[in-house]
């Protein structure tokens, strides 16, 4: 590993040739692969340079800040022991250990369990139990965490028959008394959310990274947003979102974070402000005062134009716009292709928001506010 780590490009043929001079080919390839995965994992996990990975395990591993947030939810519920049923490479169990919880990690694949055992040892954790998740008896007062694998030979799937651990086990633990969290993909179909379970969509620095199901008390839908500037996560939750009127654009247009959109909580981002929708089926809001919240981006309206390429191209040229941000929802437009058609050149910058309004599709020229 030390020799592989000294390579600037561990994936190169040159690195492989140099390594094979001193080590058996399979060992050299394994070490170079681990170094490549460790470097890829650095933005995601603070312990990346000392961990062991599989490509699938790294892909499925939770970003550390999100895993730490989840561990705090278990602590707040009074949980001391967490059973991580299907732990993969152990990233979530490492976050549980870091938070002071006792992690009982279980993994059905012996090779992955060996890697996870080495990873948990970094945090003083116990060896991973090699067993099927459905064969583990969870004590009454312990918490449960599940992250079902949803990959087949054809790629990711939402067919519950293909989940591992099985969906029946997920439903069993969500219906049980033990505090339980199930990590799912952000595209979670609403039809899979059991009655009485809280669904939470999580956005991390602008990316919606997961949806999670919780069997504790609380509103039915929630969004958790980790701000792009690195601040503390902000949570929004409600059982029945309020209804808002539909009106033409005001002085400001507000674009909710995608976690808020997926949670169906667009109308809840700032109840104390007079907000309205531009279209009842589209997640753009408007107001006559700026909205300052990590849950949404706010834009000051400069002009409102018809959606016509010649008109837009002329506007961009007349206003010397060279840096052009294009945003759209529910309108069939390729922003990259549109930007090419508009030929932006110059020193000014602007945002074009393509939106449905009570007067039809419009292009809102705006300035992004950084409050």
State the residue range of the domain holding 163. Answer: 58-236
Domain count, the chain: 3
Of the residues 236, 268, 301, the one at which a domain ends: 236
CA distance 335 to 122: 45
In the chain, what percentage of residues exceed pLDDT 70?
99
Same domain, 181 and 217: yes
pLDDT in tens, 97-120: 999 999 999 999 999 999 999 999
Same domain, 93 and 218: yes
CA distance 1 to 259: 39
Classify residue 266: in a domain, yes or no: yes
pLDDT in tens, 130-175: 999 999 999 989 999 999 988 766 777 888 888 889 999 999 999 9
Q: Token pair for residue 92?
A: 């979530």
pLDDT in tens, 4-54: 999 999 999 999 999 999 999 999 999 999 999 999 999 999 999 999 999
Same domain, 122 and 231: yes
The phi, psi pair for 322, rounded to 5°, reads -115, -30
pLDDT in tens, 177-208: 899 999 999 999 999 999 999 999 999 999 99
pLDDT at residue 60 tops 80: yes
pLDDT at residue 125 tops 70: yes
Same domain, 67 and 128: yes
Paired with 298 in beta bridges are 254
At 94 the pLDDT is 98
CA distance 330 to 298: 19
At 216 the pLDDT is 81
At 218 the pLDDT is 82
At 162 the pLDDT is 85
Same domain, 112 and 223: yes
pLDDT in tens, 309-320: 999 999 999 999
Classify residue 212: in a domain, yes or no: yes
Same domain, 88 and 32: no
Same domain, 32 and 129: no
Classify residue 247: in a domain, yes or no: no
Of the residues 184, 212, 236, the one at which a domain ends: 236
Same domain, 117 and 72: yes
Spell out the SS3 assignment of the chain: CHHHHCCCCCCCHHHHHHHHCCCCHHHHHHHHHHHHHHHHHCCCCCCHHHCCCCHHHHHHCCCHHHHHHHHHHHHHCCCCEEEEECCCCCHHHHHHHHCCCEEEEEECCHHHHHHHHHHHHCCCCCCCEECCHHHCCCCCCCEEEECCECEECCEECCCHHHCECCHHHHHHHHHCCCCEEEEECCCCCHHHCCCCCEEEEEEECCEEEEEEEECCCCCCEEEEEECCCCCCCEEEEECCCCCCCECCCCCEEEEECHHHHHCCCHHHCCCCCCCEECCCCCCCEEECCCCCCCCEEEEEEEEEEECCHHHHHHHHHHCCEEEEEEEECCCCCCHHHHHHHHCCCCCEEEEEEEEEECCEEEEEEEEECCC
Classify residue 245: in a domain, yes or no: no
Same domain, 221 and 257: no
Same domain, 121 and 218: yes
The larger pLDDT score, comparing residue 231 to residue 76, is at 76
pLDDT at residue 176 tops 70: yes
Same domain, 34 and 62: no
Classify residue 171: in a domain, yes or no: yes
Using alpha carbons only, give the angle 102, 106, 108 rounded to the nearest 5 degrees: 170
Same domain, 231 and 260: no
Over range 67-83, report the average pLDDT: 97
């Amino acid at each position: 590993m030390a020799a592989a780590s000294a390579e600037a490009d561990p994936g190169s043929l040159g690195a492989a040739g140099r390594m094979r001079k001193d080590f058996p080919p399979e060992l050299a390839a394994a070490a170079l692969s681990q170094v490549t995965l460790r470097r890829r994992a650095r933005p995601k996990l603070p312990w990346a340079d000392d961990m062991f990975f599989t490509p699938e395990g790294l892909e499925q591993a939770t970003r550390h800040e999100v895993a730490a947030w989840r561990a705090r939810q278990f602590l707040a519920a009074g949980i001391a022991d967490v059973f991580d049923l299907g732990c993969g490479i152990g990233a979530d169990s490492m976050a549980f250990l870091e938070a002071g919880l006792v992690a009982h990690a279980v993994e059905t694949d012996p090779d992955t369990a060996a890697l996870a055992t080495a990873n948990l040892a970094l945090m003083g954790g116990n060896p991973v139990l090699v067993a099927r998740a459905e064969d583990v008896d969870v004590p009454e007062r312990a918490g449960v965490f599940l992250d079902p694998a949803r990959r087949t030979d054809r790629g990711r799937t939402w067919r519950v028959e293909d989940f591992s651990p099985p969906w029946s086990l997920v439903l069993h633990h969500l219906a049980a008394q033990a505090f339980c969290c199930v990590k799912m993909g952000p595209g979670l179909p609403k039809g899979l959310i059991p009655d009485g379970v809280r669904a939470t969509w999580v956005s991390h620095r602008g990316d919606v990274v997961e949806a999670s199901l919780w069997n504790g008390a609380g509103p039915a839908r929630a969004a958790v947003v980790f701000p792009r500037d690195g601040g503390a996560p902000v949570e929004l939750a409600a059982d029945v979102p309020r209804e808002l009127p539909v009106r033409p654009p005001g002085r400001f247009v507000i674009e909710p974070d995608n976690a808020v959109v997926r949670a169906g909580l667009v109308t809840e981002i700032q109840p104390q402000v007079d907000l309205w929708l531009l279209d009842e089926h589209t997640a753009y809001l408007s107001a006559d005062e700026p909205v300052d919240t990590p849950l949404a981006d706010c834009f000051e309206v400069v002009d409102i134009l018809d959606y016509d390429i010649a008109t837009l191209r002329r506007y961009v040229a007349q206003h010397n716009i060279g840096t052009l941000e294009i945003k759209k929802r529910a309108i069939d437009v390729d922003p990259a292709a549109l930007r090419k058609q508009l030929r932006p050149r110059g020193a000014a910058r602007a945002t074009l928001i393509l939106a449905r309004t009570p007067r039809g599709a419009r292009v809102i020229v705006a300035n992004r506010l950084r409050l």
